[in-house]
Amino acid sequence: MKGFSAPRLFFQAVCCALAIFSAVAVSAQNPPEDAPVLISQPGSTRALTARPTGKSFDFSPKTVQAGRNPRITFFVTNLALLPDEGANAFRVDLQDAQGYRYPLQVLALEPLADRPWVYALTVRLHPLMTNVGDVLVRANWRGMASNRVRLAIGFESRKPEDDAGAVPTPMPDKPPVTTPVQNVASLPWAGDRVRFIEQSTFGPNAALEMRLRRIGFSAWLNEQTEEKRDANGALRYSTYPYPNLPLMPQTPSQTCTGNCLRDNYSMYPLQKWFFRETLYGEDQQLRRRVSWALGQIWVVSGRETIQPSRMVPYVQVLDRNAFGNYRDLMREMTLNPAMGNYLDMAISTQQNPNENYAREILQLFSIGLYRLNQDGTVQRDAQNNPIPTYDQSVVNGFTKVFTGWSFCVQGCPNSQPGIVNYKDQMVLTPANHDAGEKQLLNYPGAVSIIPAGLTADQDFEMALDNIFYHPNVAPFVSKILIQQLVTSNPTPAYVGRVAAVFNDNGQGIRGDLKAVVRAILLDPEARGNLKTDPDYGHLREPVLFVTNILRPLNPVSVATAGGACSNQSDGYLNPATIVLDQDVFNPPSVFNYYPMTYTLQNTDLHAPEFGIFSTGTALKRPNFVNQMIFGGGIGLSSDASCGTQVSLARWQSLAAADTTGALLVDTMNTEIMHGSLSPVVRGHILEAVQAVASTDSLKRARTAFYLVATAPQFQVQR
Amino acid sequence: MEQNRREFIGKSCRALTMAAVATQLSHLGLVSALAQKRSRKSEAVDSYKALVCVFLNGGSDANNMVVPKYTAGYADYSAARTAQGLAIPQANLLSVTPPSIGLEFGLHPNLAELHQLWGQNRLAVVTNVGTLVQPLTKALYLSGAPRPDQLFSHSDQVAQFRTAISNSSATTGWGGRLADRTGPINAGAAIPMITSMAGVTIFSNGVTSSPLIVEPAPTPLNQVLTLNGFGTTSDELARKTAMQRIRGEDLDKTLVQAAGFLTQQAVSVSEQLSTDPPLTVTFPATTLGNQLKQVAKLMKFRTSLNMTRQIFFVQLPGFDTHGSQITNQGNLFTQLSQALKAFYDETVAQGISGQVTTFTMSDFSRTLNPAGTGGNVGSDHAWAGHHLVMGDAVAGGNFYGRPTSNGSIFPTLVNNGPDDISTRGRFVPTVSVEMYAATLARWFGLNEAEMPLVFPLIGNFPTSNLGFMG
């Protein structure tokens, strides 16, 4: 590793990259440059590569031969790695002259002995890759994309052309200045603050942004997760009281029509409450967001539950445990009557067992179908097949465990004749419980068989412990929560860091969701600079799309609604999300509004929310924006006693203050797009703004907001 | 190797450059719309054909859809189901006697309209169909022979029916791959070959094909894809232009590119659907009726849209009848029968009843052994089930399949019997999804050489033609 020189050019590249960022970051303080740098040959952008030979490297091959020697080592620097951050913290891809991009399997990451600030990054080309000539290679780390370097596969070629501004990045002789990880998670950069808000709430507004600026991420997380009490001193898990609705007869009475049906046999009251929580529930934003995410794991649908009064206790289980322990959530959910009805546990008896709940608690709520490594990657056997976590005998075993539990018909606080009790936890009828031996999950340390003859309660707790202590639970749950809050395709390292906190919150406690949420939101892959990894981020699901648009625009009731509404929206927003295929609390099946495993066409990338984004729903997003921005909002109706409209006054004043439109667009870039608009997109918006007469500041504000909120760059939160 | 490489590229190319987007658009049949001109094609080259997939979501219990009515067969069925209240009374079954078996069977009593089509030889039953990776018997299954991943799991079995790949997680569906391969027949089409009325589904994603997704009736066809809020003032036009240009930026960011692409596709297609065509037949205003109504409307535009081949996906949910099956499945079958009959009649009115073939798929069938008892009685997840194929091109009035353990193409309805791989009546399939789908795909125009590209495991099975398409 001798003879490398010219670190000067390397630092030039860093400066150049900084200059680009300063053009888009509006905050007074620029984010630090913390992207990885792939090392090139001294005088060109061609990659410095080597062939791994076991203990050292062979630098002689100039080209890589596809199919024969698919392993190749690159060199990367400008990293400040965490102690256990290794190969699984990196994603590497290459792009050929045709524009196709291929993922590469990352095999190893090792610091060089003589230059510990440089790492050897060894990858494998796909065996089916052919000799295509030059390609451009990039390494992504914590959502940051490196520079791209050229690699010749088979032969050198002119195309593809280098990225604009690419310069040689030769081997550095001294360590680069990097950002310590603790600083990444507490950046005083406006863009990261807004992005943090997008990941942890239902959207930014001025007060929330100011609060974060004053107290920082960590204190804000404490503030949100601390206990809150109502006027009577009772613990409070929502800002507004839950709809207080009576349990109704299974079949509506003949006189119950119209509003009676709507209020007692549809999710309407609960949906309105939910949207008001998202719009105005400032002291419960994080809890609401986490509860909403957990509800997309532990799915119960109003389509089968029918009565909103029956769904409230289910929502309360989610809310109560959002910062609690996953084991408590498992227990309370399993005994929740709405869940018992939805997945048939309430009708499962020794005499007539029903497998539904047993199957789904394993597949969807806890461990999934395949054995996972702690970083969430799937374990495979010698034939490269994924290894199943359980078989039918285990489903049979858990089915027996869950027999005998049903609605509390009498003796519970809410038992009443002729009304199914969906308010109290389900209770046991011992005669309906199967006391036989039960096969549970088998893994190291597990008690995998329940002997015959134990009590139903003993069976129940042993079985839930058997699931809870399965090694899959931490990576399975952690990954879904990351996907819900931050990004559809977290690196395995990110999943691994969060899973480790799930396994042990630092005080020896497993399943502490408060610690897990904190770990997700403060992780360097969630925080820091603008994310440049092309695969970063997630599509805003319809609920987030709608609330993320409304919250920054101070949603209020329509003017004619009067003082009875306290100037607030009534929360009648479900019509906006239902046309986007997200009917709140009415998911089509236990597989949620969209499957977490949905894969984007032509890729190997997860994109769960794209499961409900299609040609059929794509134009309904801009149409909602149009309705709110140009169309006066959601007017009064028999279902909307207050209506919903937005205020553009602040944006209008920005438009009036600067007739070039730049102040308007740049402020929107900071506050709505967390500084991520490219100069080109900014230019397109500015051009459209300038096409409106400068005297019509309202229309200028509307035009700018419409274009931001309808942009694909806004649909995808990154 | 070249095929493998193509599949590999399809799976792994993540983001596309501008040029690659243009390429992808041409695969989608959108390029003509974008280029504002359309290649004219002789009507004589190939006549119109369409496949309509009706997915019975949740796992429809086939044991109560097609029931042995002959004495010994009904006795087995009754022994397994009557006590718990899940058996359909023998007298209520709508009689059918398939020549391939020569015994009397019965359709569910709520399938009256379909029974009528059976009598006109326009409806066929394909028996004992399920996901497989190779032919299996009970003995082979119990000896550990290769079987589909995650049997009895909804999400996996739904995906495997839709992908026709049961031994790995596929990223494309068989409808999409069929569209990839038959795309050339459809040259000049103004909209994608595949349309889903039931949202996004892997069935309709190919390597290069991606579907049009529209909402069902009663939304008029010319209102399914509209962009509101643009007039003709200069600032509105400037806003529209900016919106279009913004969609062309940041294409290196994978999810952003995908969102922009789908939006662009919707805008392009909306320009093609400017009127709402009237239909002859009145469709029931049900979940399925409304979807099939929209299908019929798109079919009515087949000539002006230059469509030679179309694939449609519709879905009827609610078949996961762990409980209350008698009522729930009964209602769903009424809906199915009435909607399919209306759709069939409309194809007659449009003169294409011999060119449109409608078929069912479902997650799986359900256990012969009931779950629960009395009014709540239902059934659990199982495996092989029967499916319906409808149209004038179908060799109807018969059952099709492959021999089960008893020598006939209908399994023995006995718990822990010779076809049950469990103790609760989960029958091992004798017809794979591939065999069923390949029979349809051949009729649609897929050539033999490309059969393995659409159905990678078809070579594992004894035939790719079950004979029901004549």
CB of A345 closer than 8 Å to CB of A432 = no
CB of A79 closer than 8 Å to CB of A106 = no
- pLDDT for B212: 93
- pLDDT for A16: 32
Query: For chain A, first and last CA: distance in Å?
Result: 38
State whether residue A624 is helix, strand or coil: helix
Contacts 24+ apart (CB under 8 A), B146-151: B149/A369, B149/A386, B149/A388, B150/A369, B150/A388, B151/A392, B151/B364, B151/B383
CB < 8 Å to B6, chain A: none
Task: Answer yes or no: do A543 and A680 share one domain.
Answer: yes
Overall average pLDDT of the A334-341 stretch? 97
* CA-based nearest distance A229→chain B, Å: 41
The DSSP secondary-structure symbol of A169 reads -
CB < 8 Å to B212, chain A: 615
User: Does the model's ipTM exceed the 0.90 cut?
Assistant: yes
Task: Answer yes or no: do A457 and A561 share one domain.
Answer: no
State whether residue A425 is helix, strand or coil: coil
How does pLDDT run across A318-327, given as a tens digit for each residue? Answer: 999 999 999 9
Task: Answer yes or no: do A373 and A460 share one domain.
Answer: yes
Task: Answer yes or no: do A559 and A653 share one domain.
Answer: yes
Interface test with B, best of A94, A544, A602, A625 (most B CBs within 10 A): A602
* CA-based nearest distance B26→chain A, Å: 15
Q: Domains for chain B: give ranges and CATH numbers.
A: 2-11+63-218+273-460 (3.40.720), 225-272 (no CATH)
CATH code of residue A23: 2.60.40.10
CB of A122 closer than 8 Å to CB of A108 = yes
- Decide if B246 and A130 are in contact by the 8 Å CB cutoff: no
- Decide if B239 and A610 are in contact by the 8 Å CB cutoff: no
- pLDDT for A188: 65
Task: Answer yes or no: do A431 and A573 share one domain.
Answer: no
A212 domain-assigned: no
- Decide if B14 and A681 are in contact by the 8 Å CB cutoff: no
C-alpha separations of A595 from A389, A537, A545 in Å:
20, 17, 18
- Decide if B224 and A678 are in contact by the 8 Å CB cutoff: no
- pLDDT for B303: 93
- pLDDT for B46: 56
Nearest Cα residue in chain A from B149: A388
- Decide if B255 and A537 are in contact by the 8 Å CB cutoff: yes
How many structural domains is chain A composed of? Answer: 3
Chain B segment 228-257 residues within 8 A of A by beta carbon are: 228-229, 234-235, 238-239, 241-243, 245-247, 249-250, 252-257
**Boundaries of domain holding A654:** 538-717
Last residue of a domain, one of A141, A156, A179: A179
DSSP string, A467-526: HHTSTTHHHHHHHHHHHHHT-SS--HHHHHHHHHHHH--SSS-S-BHHHHHHHHHHSTTT
C-alpha separations of A620 from A275, A615, A616 in Å:
19, 9, 8
Overall average pLDDT of the A636-661 stretch? 96
pLDDT-derived band of residue A177, with 50, 70 and 90 as boundaries?
A: confident
B19–A contact, CB cutoff 8 A = yes
Nearest Cα residue in chain B from A432: B372
- pLDDT for A4: 36
A137 domain-assigned: yes
B422–A contact, CB cutoff 8 A = yes
- pLDDT for A6: 32
CB < 8 Å to B381, chain A: 355, 359
Quick one: which H or E segment has residue B7? helix B2-12
CA angle A69, A75, A80 (to 5 degrees): 140
Interface test with A, best of B246, B247, B272, B426 (most A CBs within 10 A): B246
CA distance A148 to A161: 11
B83–A contact, CB cutoff 8 A = no
A353: pLDDT strictly greater than 60: yes
- pLDDT for B32: 29
Quick one: which H or E segment has residue A102? strand A101-111
How does pLDDT run across A74-84, given as a tens digit for each residue? Answer: 999 999 998 88
A280: pLDDT strictly greater than 90: yes
A54: pLDDT strictly greater than 90: no
> Hey, what are A227's tokens?
């206990």
Q: What residues have CB less than 8 Å from A553, skipping those under 6 apart?
A: A628, A646, A647, A648, A705
CA distance B64 to A386: 35
> Hey, what are A434's tokens?
């199967």
A446: pLDDT strictly greater than 70: yes
Q: Which of A603, A613, A614 sits opposite B14 (nearest CB)?
A: A603
Last residue of a domain, one of A442, A471, A500: A471
* CA-based nearest distance B265→chain A, Å: 6
Last residue of a domain, one of A471, A486, A512: A471
Nearest Cα residue in chain A from B3: A128
Interface A:B, Cβ pairs < 8 A: 264
Task: Answer yes or no: do A449 and A597 share one domain.
Answer: no
Task: Answer yes or no: do A582 and A456 share one domain.
Answer: no
Task: Answer yes or no: do A463 and A542 share one domain.
Answer: no
A306 domain-assigned: no
- Decide if A711 and B152 are in contact by the 8 Å CB cutoff: no
A374 domain-assigned: yes
Task: Answer yes or no: do A453 and A590 share one domain.
Answer: no
Q: Which of B8, B238, B256 sits opposite A128 (nearest CB)?
A: B8
- pLDDT for A12: 31
How does pLDDT run across A565-620, given as a tens digit for each residue? Answer: 999 999 999 999 999 999 999 998 899 999 998 988 878 899 999 999 999 999 99
State whether residue B423 is helix, strand or coil: coil
- pLDDT for A258: 95
To the nearest whole number, what is the mean pLDDT of chain A? 92
Q: Which of B58, B205, B269 sits opposite A615 (nearest CB)?
A: B269
| Site of tokens 């009067």 | A562
- Decide if A612 and B150 are in contact by the 8 Å CB cutoff: no
- Decide if B234 and A691 are in contact by the 8 Å CB cutoff: yes
CB < 8 Å to B227, chain A: 619, 622-623
* CA-based nearest distance B104→chain A, Å: 31
Task: Answer yes or no: do A89 and A173 share one domain.
Answer: yes
A488 domain-assigned: no
Task: Answer yes or no: do A543 and A461 share one domain.
Answer: no
C-alpha separations of A659 from A608, A663, B44, B77, B198 in Å:
42, 9, 62, 80, 47
- Decide if B256 and A712 are in contact by the 8 Å CB cutoff: yes
Task: Answer yes or no: do A125 and A22 share one domain.
Answer: yes
- Decide if A355 and B371 are in contact by the 8 Å CB cutoff: yes
Chain B segment 98-117 residues within 8 A of A by beta carbon are: none
The one-letter amino acid code at B242 reads A
CB of B359 closer than 8 Å to CB of B388 = yes
| Site of tokens 């009475």 | A253
CB < 8 Å to A538, chain B: 255
- Decide if A354 and B210 are in contact by the 8 Å CB cutoff: no
CA distance A257 to A375: 52
- Decide if A718 and B255 are in contact by the 8 Å CB cutoff: yes
- pLDDT for A55: 72
How does pLDDT run across A666-716, given as a tens digit for each residue? Answer: 999 999 999 999 999 999 999 999 999 999 999 999 999 999 999 999 999
CB < 8 Å to B142, chain A: none
**What global pTM score does this model have?**
0.87
Annotate A450-467 with three-state secondary structure. ECCCCCHHHHHHHHHHHH
For residue B341, give the nearest of B93, B111, B52 by alpha carbon: B111
Nearest Cα residue in chain A from B15: A101
| Residues of chain B with confidence (pLDDT) below 50 | 1-45
